[in-house]
Structure 1
């Protein structure tokens, strides 16, 4: 709603057009009422021109000051009644009523149609009661055409305009929410890929780093040969894991594309690989059937825990235990904690972050840290109904 003092360009056109039209009607002697008998000063052209001029001036304010413009315009129409009258004055007054509803404050716009309706009823009933002639009904019709009809029209147009504005804002909000959802989906997907890449490749890279360091540090052909064998095995397995991850990311639509979907049935193979890398692993898996998201999260947590044990654990036994308890799958991995004499691979801490994220996405709990002489990783993964994707 415009609130400046400068009239809108279209309002100037309306005011000028109404004034010129009224002056033209006045010039050809076309009026809405006959002369008084006997002749009166109100029959003069200037008496008709003054309300016309005032109403035209009010049209300049129809958009910027609709309330005051309607008030002054009403006074001008009342002043026009004793004169011979001008059709242009009445037409411009109806436009002032319409503009007051369309551009006025909401409360004023809601009340004005009721006020004009009340005046229409009064203008119909009172003449019928006083004059007791059917022609008196025409006065009510005239009041309705001048006040109620433009007010009702303005209310309908305003409702359509407000509805269009609300729909446009709703569409903009929907588009903004869609953009936010897309951005969050991209971030979540990047985090998922980062976790998968770390969990799938870090174990093999750590084994390669440790055994290559041993091969370079020890001047023993047999030890170097064993280390190179382990390095080759982990290189081949890491390459296969990478190919499976690329198969997930490639949107080829090929049903033969490889997919990485490890299950808890593969824990024994995972433990065997860790044993081949030099760890002493004891596996105790009593989990039964669990939802797929929980299964994947548990597998990745065990995999990362074994990787960390390979990089940081002191010599000794590493235990892996999985058990269902109180509607959740509990995962516990312990490894000797203390000084490690052999070569070790550097760690970035991303593994602990990834394990914590996987547990949090399922609404579970995660903790990792030293407990006496052992390093313990514990995760509680609610079984629920299997909803959510920890990957």
Structure 2
């Protein structure tokens, strides 16, 4: 329609027929079809089409489509092309303006330079700016997705760690009392002596009350969101080992077990660093679990608990109990005790070992743990 109405830029150059503008328009339209799938090929078609159009009369539609092809080549083309095309458009504009000024001394040369810049420089740099914004937005989305993924991984690890911590605490709180209850309930069922039965029932009641109290305290800590679990009522310390061994002594008297505490730490402030609260809690739980295992599995004899400061201020815990083949444990167990002890020591960066020792017959079951005065991680 533009060609039929004679609405083109000027007379043809070099004696070319004006109908060639329609050929240039057709080639430019074909280039437009390739602007997304093959932007560089589209630009390669558009350049000779624009040159032909400029020589045959210059249709405005062809020039407008050329600007879109340049814009698409920068926006959708490879990164190297996106960097080079804007620079090339500036050089081309300067060169074309300079050549025109050499052969045509007229003030209109400045207007021609502006028109060439609008056709080449403006779409190229517009495409570069939009491409930079698009790449920045995509990078921001990727960072946001990575941050969300890392946050989800942290949340999953935190939940798993909290579940493991709760499992250890529940096991250590309940297993000791329930083992004593099971052992003395079996004794009460098998003994016909009223005094022995009454004593066993007394131990059962005492352990039931203590276990219930500890369970209530733990449930209260879980329900109270403002409680961190570091208070003295919730975190046992090494000062409570004597009471713990005394309780085990009462629970194991009927099984021929004698429990002895050998505290070699020395008086407070005697040149040794006081262990941190997580280390004290871990040491207490290790002794507690070892005494529970002794009540279940140990042969009659002496169970000795020793706690002392080792080299470098490390806190060492050793529990020796008689070890012999038995037809079965005095109370059933889940096998999670040793796993929980290893996890506690690993969290604090210490060393742990448990197994038979003392000769080929394995006459002693030895639990040994070495904990640094200050754990590498905060046990919660």
With normalisation by structure 2, the TM-score equals: 0.89
Q: Distance in 2 between matches of 1:78 and 1:190?
A: 74
Would you say 1:66 and 2:52 are equivalent positions? no
Would you say 1:273 and 2:259 are equivalent positions? no
User: For 1:134-145, what aligned pairs fall within 5 Å after superposition?
Assistant: 134-145=107-118
Would you say 1:357 and 2:343 are equivalent positions? yes
The match for 2:379 is 390
SS across alignment from 1:26: coil
Cα gap change, 1:252/1:107 in structure 2, threshold over 3 Å: closer, same or farther? closer
Would you say 1:320 and 2:305 are equivalent positions? yes
Is the CA contact (8 Å cut-off) linking 2:97 and 2:113 kept in structure 1?
Answer: yes
Cα gap change, 1:342/1:213 in structure 2, threshold over 3 Å: closer, same or farther? farther
**Structure 1 regions of 5+ residues with no counterpart?**
1-22
Would you say 1:100 and 2:73 are equivalent positions? yes
User: For 1:1-391, what aligned pairs fall within 5 Å after superposition?
Assistant: 23=1, 25-34=2-11, 40-42=15-17, 44=18, 46-131=19-104, 133-251=106-224, 253=226, 260-277=234-251, 278=253, 279-287=257-265, 289-325=274-310, 326-339=312-325, 344-372=330-358, 373-384=363-374, 386-391=375-380
Q: Distance in 2 between matches of 1:204 and 1:249?
A: 21
Q: Distance in 1 between matches of 2:356 and 2:103?
A: 102
Cα gap change, 1:57/1:203 in structure 2, threshold over 3 Å: closer, same or farther? same
SS across alignment from 1:82: helix
Q: Distance in 1 between matches of 2:170 and 2:119?
A: 77
Shift of 1:261: 1.1
Is the CA contact (8 Å cut-off) linking 2:306 and 2:319 kept in structure 1?
Answer: yes
Is the CA contact (8 Å cut-off) linking 1:315 and 1:336 kept in structure 2?
Answer: yes
Partner deviation per Cα, 1:195-253 (whole Å, 9 max, x = no partner): 00000110000001111111111211111111111111001111111111111211354
Q: Distance in 1 between matches of 2:353 and 2:338?
A: 9
Q: How many residues align?
A: 363
Is the CA contact (8 Å cut-off) linking 1:322 and 1:332 kept in structure 2?
Answer: yes
Q: Distance in 1 between matches of 2:370 and 2:5?
A: 96
Is the CA contact (8 Å cut-off) linking 1:359 and 1:390 kept in structure 2?
Answer: no
Is the CA contact (8 Å cut-off) linking 1:248 and 1:259 kept in structure 2?
Answer: no
Is the CA contact (8 Å cut-off) linking 1:245 and 1:259 kept in structure 2?
Answer: no
SS across alignment from 1:368: strand
Q: Distance in 2 between matches of 1:244 and 1:181?
A: 28
Is the CA contact (8 Å cut-off) linking 2:175 and 2:292 kept in structure 1?
Answer: yes
The match for 2:271 is none
Q: Distance in 2 between matches of 1:86 and 1:176?
A: 54
Cα gap change, 1:252/1:155 in structure 2, threshold over 3 Å: closer, same or farther? closer
Q: Distance in 2 between matches of 1:331 and 1:351?
A: 16
Is the CA contact (8 Å cut-off) linking 1:336 and 1:375 kept in structure 2?
Answer: yes
**Structure 2 regions of 5+ residues with no counterpart?**
269-273
Shift of 1:339: 4.2
SS across alignment from 2:123: helix
